[in-house]
Structure 1
Amino acid sequence: MRMPRGWWRSKSTPAKIELYTRWSYHFFAVFEIVLFGLPVLARVPLRFSGWLFAALCGHALLTTATASRAVDWTRGRREQPLRIMWTLGAVTAVFAAATLLVTKAQPADSDYLGALGSLATGAMGVGIGTVTLGMRRKRWMAALVVGFAAGCLTLALMLHAAPDDAVMAAFALMLFPGFMVFAAIFSVWILNAVYELDEARETRARLAVAEERLRFGRDLHDVIGRNLAVIALKSELAVQLARRERPEAVEQMIEVQRIAQESQREVRDVVRGYREADLGVELTGAQGVLNAAGIACEVRGETAGLPTEVQSALGWVVREATTNVLRHGDAGRCEVGIRVLEGRVVLTVENDGAESEETENEGAEDVGTENDGSQNGEASDGPPESRGSGLAGLRERLAAVDGTLEAGRVRKGVFRVVAEVPLAANEVTA
């Protein structure tokens, strides 16, 4: 059971709906054989029941192939299967006509006329419903149903059936096919709507990423824009002073060097994310992004009064955890909680849909474990800007304020990130 469940959970929601729609029409073929074909074998004389049942099985197989190709056409994977749709329509008409001919050849008091009538109705319903699965215009669908009913009425009158009986039979033959046409319309509408919603969710996620990139660009401009302007002005002044052989030119270039080094440090801080982040802003932004992506997000707790260093460190935990929820798994809900307990702040981010994200998160957990040495104050290889990101980067940020981070599955399908930061060094302000 583990492999089928894993195969099913690995599929996206639109893929699941498509698979459900496709196999629903495959089961309609089984439904057609069991509900309408078996009574014919049991009640109709053998000289008719054998070939009628065989023809019905062939008709069911043809409806299965038509439904599969029609669903592919609905999703734009192939051209409209007009040839097989015409074939199914013609086979359905011939089969219904043959069944009516067999019905007419039987005595009026035969006890198996009802089975033959149900056989014709069932074949028409499944056949017409499958054909309309590959159509878009509702007028053509309605014309198909009315056309089959009119054909049955004409054939019944040609076989000298009573007009009242012929009209009632034609009306009855419109009910089940009409229901199947409605089912086809509704199935295609649901399938397309789910795919469109999924595309809209991806678009919103991409827009959120683009907005974050714009924010980063603005931060980078704010950091180095003014400094570059100052560097340009002081360099121009130093050139003019040097041409006049003034000693102040050296002082100006020293100032340029200082500003350049400061700019380098500030850019490094932006890239590494050590600029102060407001926890309240990050929580609001995370809730907005997750809700826009179709993930119900609930935020509990207050951030007012927390020290700046604590808010900055926990703000980056919220941002990284939100990114993981968006990128990994198939979450439907996310809960974020802030609590102040016994001199420490506890941030909890918990989301469902963690089956598919388990491997990547566990991989990030392993990366963080490897970096424990640098977090405890030991020397690390390379400068700070060369260290990793993700959960390992969060541990580094939290280590700067003596905080800790735990991440992993807490129960089936649920992933939780818990960050704790002590308040001993910085008391909560009023």
Structure 2
Amino acid sequence: MTVVSAPGSQRETLTPSDDPRGVGPDVTRTRLVSLGFLGTLLLARCADAAVHHTFGYLPFVAALFVLPVWYVSGVARHAWTRWRWWLLAGQALLTYVPFVLFGNGWVAGLSGLLGGLVLVLIPAPRSWLLLGGLLALEATLWVEVVGVPYRPAINAGVWVVVAFADVALGLFGLSRLSQLVRDLGAAQEELATAAVDRERLATQEQLRRLIGDRIQQVAQHARAALRWLSATPEDARGEVAAAGVIARQAAAESRRLHAADPDRGITPYEPSHTTTAPRTARAVLVTVVALFAAQNLLNVTMPSGRPRQHVATALLVAVVVSLGIMAVQWYHSGAGTGRGKPRYWPYTLALLAVLTYLQVPLVGSLGLIFVAFLAASGLLLLPGTWRWIWFGAAVVSVSALFILLASGESPSTPTVAIRAVYTAAISASFGLMAYGLSRLAGLAVRLADRREDLAAVAAVRERLRLARDTHDLLGLGLSTLALKSDLIGALIGPDDARAAREIGELLHVCATVRSDTARIAGERPRLSLDTELGLATDVLASAAIHVRVTGVDRAVPQAVDNVLAIVLREAITNILRHSQARQCAITVESEDGLVRLRVSNDGAVSAPLSPNGTGHGLDNLRTRVTGCGGVLTTRRSGGTFVMMVELPAVPG
């Protein structure tokens, strides 16, 4: 659930049903993909392809994954900010102690976990400089200190560097994009709040210009009338008449405010992350594919084991395959960025499958290096469970072909099994990485769009809320000003003393209306039912309507009291505007956990509708009342109109 609030206001919640994109579950899947990448990578490194004399290296491999898995999981993330350097030092210790213990029997590529953490924890460009230093250290340790894990040395030396870079970039890309997705989700409240604030500022200016300034003019005319009252009654009557005209103009403006188009002027917002996310994902993905391609070319030109025949042909095929797979994977990865599936994707997916296995007859199991990207493309393009069937089939094909090709070389059965597990796990790991980078880039774009949608939703809701408050809270005061102006005009001459008192009360109402105007665009207005009962009695009495108030002794929470006050104010406004009442009864009572407010009047001649006949007044009240778990009912019988509100004494 997303909370949209603004300073000084009651909180308004956007429930999951308000989610215009429905991407909440995808945010969780980003973390699962990252954990899947690390989990399959752990399995691959435990079943490392190099020859190990014992299995003593396995605990050290598992230990190296503890901190990266912790970071990717998002649990207690604050510790990574507070203890960043200590945690990196711990990862470095776990990274380099095994070189001392196992020499070239250690597992290549695991140092990349340290490199990935450096990239995500240390700001650029220092992180990239440190990564370059770690890469140089990695090459030095394997080539100059412990010795390469296999021959030829050039092939092995490049492989350990490529393995380091692949792991570092994979961890960095998935972690950085996962963090970006989380940041986008967290920042949506900030954006929605900004949209609400913009609406309030715009409304504040409109209220000041259309209503506040007019109320000030009404007060000026009232003071002038008070000065002319004893000297020239005709001038005083003219000032009061002018005040009444302006008060009615202000009342008309309050009813029209925001009513024409609640969706006007939503300012679009485009976060910079919408371009950053796909660019980061594409850069990491292209680099990893390029590293795979470089290793593939090296495997063909300088293969481990006995030399192969037809090297020139194999090299030509390897170049075609490497370039073709880079292009097709780039094409397919666009499917994860929110643009939809690319055209002719079934044919390009088939082409990718052909390219993936094309090298096998020439270079054997080494030709299966690109299966990871075939698996990733299936996840991106195929629907439903078919994508996972494709993924699983691609991964299993690596092990099956490896075992089949190894059967003619007569290696030991345990070695074949271990290497088969390694090839399948490493393909699954980097397949998930390629899929995750593409999907996360698209999710970042969708979340950025979602933030804009939520901001628009928040802006419209605030606009409607401001329109309701303007209608409900200013209507009675502005009507009172017009009525008192008429009353004062009639009293000037026959009863100047009472006219002077009424002018004083008119000035008081002007101050109240101006205060309500300022509060509407500031914090949510908080009214008091007791105050409104007093104002209602005074206003109705000024209109020659007899008022009977009963059952006012009650204690209710502030939220309930505020809603009842607003309902009463709107009810009195409707009586003045839509009836020829001479009697009004107001009852407030509390019973069985409910608070009831009942307002009835005679002389009902029309339904309490807005000027355009849509009945916004009662609709506004129903929105408020139902929002607090209450019920508003109305009944008209002959010339009597009754409105009753029931609210829980303790709001839910």
**TM-score normalized by the length of structure 2:** 0.35
- Larger gyration radius, structure 1 or structure 2: 2
Highest RCO, 1 vs 2 (Cα 8 Å, sep ≥ 6): 2
